């Protein structure tokens, strides 16, 4: 791919310089930490970009614990791509001013990962504007985004606003698939034998607007807990309702200690992003939950794809229409359709059939949802 770059010349109005170049230089802007957010996806973008002959770096000082190239030299890059979950993903001054001064507005793009660029939406206890926590009202998000960029992308196939560009952002990495050639029967624990793996089910994710789904899952599997095996929740605040949620009156960050005790659920702290796939592989099944808001808006996350890389049978606790649109038709068998216990019992009894489905879903994702394809889609958006 060859790209035409048109830049304004400072010496006069309506005077531009154009030149062709085969490589793009992208500066990704987001606050990275090892246990959440977009860290896994951004790491993949830097790797895939380099493989495709482009330069991709993260804005900021070099990070000690995350292996991505970083830079503060804004003028060396063609575009800034802001990856926004919350207000903290925007750099503080004077760094934000350096970005806005160093790259014009038409060279800045925002990927809105949580649907902030919408009117205020509430689904159950979930919401897209966190006035109680960050002090920013809905109109501030919309005006703030529009001040930074004219192009807003959201990781959904069905954005609510006409001025939002659908771009899934997260992707599937075929090279990260654990034991891709392993026999399906070995990965399932051996025809329902719960002793082959230490866990029956593992969920990795923080306790933020997911408790209603986790509780429903646990209650559904309680009658088959001996068949299923031990359950583990890994992430922040699964052991108890956090004090900050109590202080601010935020619901959806709940815990039922008695339910966890009754099912002997193990809770662990959050694990670093590079350990997630291997850890999920310690369980026979990997349920995928999303926030009610995300299901409502059709937003995807890294875990939407990453769980398919692990040596576990995924249980996609997502809307069926969304799963088919993202993962392909073979993924419908991985959706419990309201009967979690029944689907798990069938997976235990007939693991080969479900591992065939997993293989077909992986092939679909490798063709349609890979990071290589995602990167090319982003270049297409930037060049439009």
- Report the b/e string of 28-62 with b at 16+ CB within 10 A: bbbbbebbbbbbbbbbbbbbbbeebebbbbbbbee
pLDDT of residue 242: 84
Beta pairing, strands 108-112 & 151-154 = parallel
pLDDT at position 11, please? 45
DSSP H helical ranges for the chain = 39-51, 95-102, 131-134, 138-148, 184-187, 211-221, 225-228, 243-248, 257-262, 276-280, 292-297, 302-306, 320-327, 340-349, 351-368, 371-383
Residues of the chain scoring pLDDT < 50 = 1, 9, 11-12, 15-20, 186-194
Tokens 């890979």 sit on residue? 370
| Predicted local confidence at residue 296, as pLDDT | 96
Which pLDDT score, from 0 to 100, does residue 195 have?
56
Residue 135: per-residue pLDDT:
59
- Both tokens of residue 236? 């922040």
pLDDT for 303: 93
Instruction: For residue 350, give every residue at least 6 positions away whose Cβ sits within 8 Å of its Cβ, in sequence order, or none.
Output: none
- Tell me the DSSP string of 110-129: EEETT--SSS--EETTEES-
- Find, among 225, 182, 212, 170, the residue nearest to 373 by Cα: 170
Residues 6 or more apart whose Cβ sits within 8 Å of residue 330: 357, 360, 361, 364
| Closest of 54, 15, 11 to residue 378, by C-alpha | 54
- Encode pLDDT of 151-170 as tens digits: 999 999 999 999 999 999 99
Query: How far is the C-alpha of 112 from the C-alpha of 122, rounded, in Å?
Result: 17
How much is the pLDDT for 13?
Answer: 53
For residue range 241-262, list pLDDT tens digits in order.
888 888 878 888 889 999 999 9
Q: Taking the model in full, what pTM does it have?
A: 0.90
Distance spanning both ends of the chain, measured CA to CA: 14
Residue 370 has what pLDDT? 98
Place of tokens 């090279």: 175
Identify the structural domains of the chain with CATH numbers, from first to last: 15-171+372-383 (3.40.50), 174-368 (3.40.50.2000)
| pLDDT number for residue 209 | 86
């Amino acid at each position: 791919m060859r790209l035409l770059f048109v830049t304004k010349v400072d010496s006069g109005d309506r005077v531009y310089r154009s030149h062709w170049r085969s490589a793009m230089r992208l500066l990704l802007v987001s606050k990275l930490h090892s246990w959440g957010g977009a860290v896994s996806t951004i790491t993949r973008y830097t790797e895939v970009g380099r493989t495709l002959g482009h330069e991709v770096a993260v804005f900021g000082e070099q990070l000690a614990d995350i292996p991505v190239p970083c830079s503060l030299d804004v003028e060396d890059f063609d575009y800034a791509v802001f990856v926004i979950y919350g207000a903290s993903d925007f750099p503080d001054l004077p760094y934000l001013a350096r970005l806005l001064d160093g790259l014009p507005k038409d060279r800045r793009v925002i990927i809105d990962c949580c649907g902030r660029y919408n009117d205020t939406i509430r689904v159950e206890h979930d919401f897209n504007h966190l006035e109680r926590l960050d002090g920013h009202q809905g109109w501030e998000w919309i005006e703030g985004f529009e001040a930074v960029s004219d192009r807003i992308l959201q990781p959904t196939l069905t954005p609510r606003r006409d001025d939002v560009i659908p771009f899934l952002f997260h992707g599937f990495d075929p090279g990260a698939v654990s034991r891709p050639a392993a026999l399906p029967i070995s990965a399932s624990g051996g025809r329902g034998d719960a002793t082959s793996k230490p866990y029956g089910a593992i969920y990795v994710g923080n306790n933020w607007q997911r408790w209603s789904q986790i509780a429903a899952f646990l209650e559904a599997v309680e009658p088959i807990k001996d068949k299923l095996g031990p359950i583990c929740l890994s992430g922040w605040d699964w052991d108890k309702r956090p004090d900050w949620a109590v202080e601010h009156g935020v619901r959806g960050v709940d815990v039922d200690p008695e339910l966890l005790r009754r099912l002997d659920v193990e809770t662990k702290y959050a694990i670093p992003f590079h350990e997630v796939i291997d850890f999920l592989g310690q369980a026979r099944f990997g349920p995928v939950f999303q926030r009610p808001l995300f299901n409502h808006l059709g937003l995807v996350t890294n875990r939407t794809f990453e769980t398919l890389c692990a040596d576990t049978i995924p249980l996609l606790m997502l809307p069926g229409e969304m799963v088919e649109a993202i993962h392909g038709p073979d993924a419908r068998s991985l959706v419990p359709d309201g009967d979690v216990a029944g689907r798990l019992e069938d997976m235990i009894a007939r693991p080969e059939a479900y591992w065939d489905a997993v293989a077909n879903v992986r092939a679909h994702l490798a063709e349609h949802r890979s990071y290589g394809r995602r990167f090319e889609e982003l270049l297409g958006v930037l060049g439009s």
